[in-house]
């Protein structure tokens, strides 16, 4: 469908994907009405620092904003904040808002993100039990993070381990509980799990794997302890829940748009309704470098899909689709990830984990599909290109640190 004559575009959400779509539309020459609807009172802001520098108080709130308020005014973008969209009427091309108003659209971008999975046990409703997803969460958590207090973190994914690193550095007694046999079990290999678990233990964090939580206990409405299924009771002044997220797809699903663990979109971020697009955590997209579809929870994905949706609306050529990439900061460790490692049949380690500078390459049938690079930018950058090229690689050459990554990439492309 040709939307180049769209006079009214509405963007639902105020995260990375929404902010990028707004910016790309205006930079791409769109001059019509442009409205952004966000549930939170804050201007659109970035989320990755929330579990890192911002939680530690090293990052001012204003630095989180993608653009200052003046940018939206100067670019004639209407901001409707502290407001939730309640329904989409596709026939009337209208979005209903919780305060009773509505917005008409010619094109609509859903960038509603995701929400934390709720902790399904008794005591989850107690005070000082938190999820970590937005600014308001950090504002509630940070005053409680006082040296000497006990913090129990449920879930050893990236958010849980990043928060554990911050808590430990701030002097809290920190315990991480994980049901799986190893940390980061759902997102990386045993090589990386072993490295991170050892690092957190070295820093003083208590890691308990293959551990299930039975309930949380409290006093005067506030949490005081985490009780494990084996009866062990752990002191807990603060509990942080990091057991995954769910896509906010209800608006789309309730309006009849196709969804399956995310709003289904094509390569242009277009949904089953040709006037409606979806981008970011809430969308399930074609993963063109891997021959399947899925959701990607990353800054890169949000930026890319925001650009794709804007380009499609403007009738411009589709932007390049990059190799997926992610990162995580814990202590002095910078983890950079390229690609998707699911289905690998070989791991090649380049460098030494003992030196805190190494990379784990994941191959499938001799083809590089992903890398985890610790304090190793050359391995990360070269791997992005190698993954997109689909080049065959020798495990011996990858592991040989006397050969530079530039040489490996050049020779692989030439081959």
What's the mean pLDDT in 274-292? 96
Question: Residue 413: what pLDDT?
Answer: 59
**Alpha helices (H) in 315-404, listed in sequence order:** 377-389, 395-399
85, 110, 117, 287 from 263: Cα distances, Å = 16, 9, 18, 14
121, 196, 228 from 156: Cα distances, Å = 18, 10, 16
Give the pLDDT band of residue 411 (cuts 50, 70, 90).
Answer: confident
What's the mean pLDDT in 375-396? 94
pLDDT in tens, 24-46: 999 999 999 999 999 999 999 99
Q: How far apart are CA 119 and CA 177, in angstroms?
A: 13
**String of DSSP letters for 177-244:** E-SSSSTTTTTS-HHHHHHHHHHHHHHT-EEE-S--EEEEEEETTEEEEEEETTS-EEE-SEEEE-S-
pLDDT in tens, 103-162: 999 999 999 999 999 999 999 999 999 999 899 999 999 999 999 999 999 999 999 999
Model confidence at 356: pLDDT above 50:
yes
């Amino acid at each position: 469908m040709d939307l180049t004559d769209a006079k009214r575009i509405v963007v639902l959400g105020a995260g990375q994907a929404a902010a990028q779509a707004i910016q790309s539309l205006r930079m791409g020459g769109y001059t019509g009405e442009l409205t952004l609807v966000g549930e939170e009172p804050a201007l659109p802001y970035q989320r990755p620092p929330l579990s890192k520098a911002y939680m530690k108080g090293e990052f001012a709130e204003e630095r989180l904003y993608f653009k200052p308020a003046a940018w939206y005014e100067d670019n004639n973008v209407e901001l409707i904040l502290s407001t939730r969209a309640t329904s989409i009427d596709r026939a009337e091309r209208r979005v209903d808002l919780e305060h009773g108003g509505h917005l008409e659209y010619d094109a609509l971008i859903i960038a509603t993100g995701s929400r934390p999975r709720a902790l399904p046990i008794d005591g989850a409703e107690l005070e000082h039990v938190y999820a970590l997803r937005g600014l308001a969460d950090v504002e509630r958590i940070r005053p409680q993070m006082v040296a000497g207090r006990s913090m129990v973190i449920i879930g050893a994914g990236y958010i849980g381990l990043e928060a554990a690193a911050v808590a430990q550095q701030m002097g809290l007694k920190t315990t991480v509980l994980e049901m799986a046999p190893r940390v980061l079990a759902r997102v990386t290999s045993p090589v990386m799990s072993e490295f991170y678990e050892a690092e957190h233990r070295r820093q003083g964090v208590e890691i308990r794997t293959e551990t299930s939580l039975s309930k949380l206990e409290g006093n005067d409405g506030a949490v005081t302890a985490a009780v494990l299924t084996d009866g062990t009771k752990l002191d807990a002044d603060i509990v942080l829940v990091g057991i995954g997220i769910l896509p906010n797809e209800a608006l789309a699903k309730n309006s009849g748009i196709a969804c399956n663990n995310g709003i289904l979109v094509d390569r242009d971020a277009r949904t089953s309704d040709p006037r409606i697009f979806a981008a970011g955590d809430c969308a399930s997209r074609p993963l063109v470098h891997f021959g399947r579809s899925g959701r990607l929870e990353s800054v890169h994905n949000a930026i890319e899909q925001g650009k794709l949706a804007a380009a499609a609306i403007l009738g411009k050529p589709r932007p390049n689709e990059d190799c997926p990439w992610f990162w995580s900061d814990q202590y002095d460790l910078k983890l950079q990830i390229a690609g998707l490692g699911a289905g690998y049949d070989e791991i090649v380690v380049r460098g030494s984990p003992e030196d805190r500078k190494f990379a784990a390459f994941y191959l499938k049938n001799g083809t590089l599909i992903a890398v985890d690079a610790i304090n190793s930018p050359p391995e990360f950058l070269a791997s992005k290109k190698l993954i997109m090229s689909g080049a065959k690689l020798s495990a011996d050459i990858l592991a040989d640190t006397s050969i530079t990554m530039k040489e490996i990439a050049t020779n692989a492309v030439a081959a």
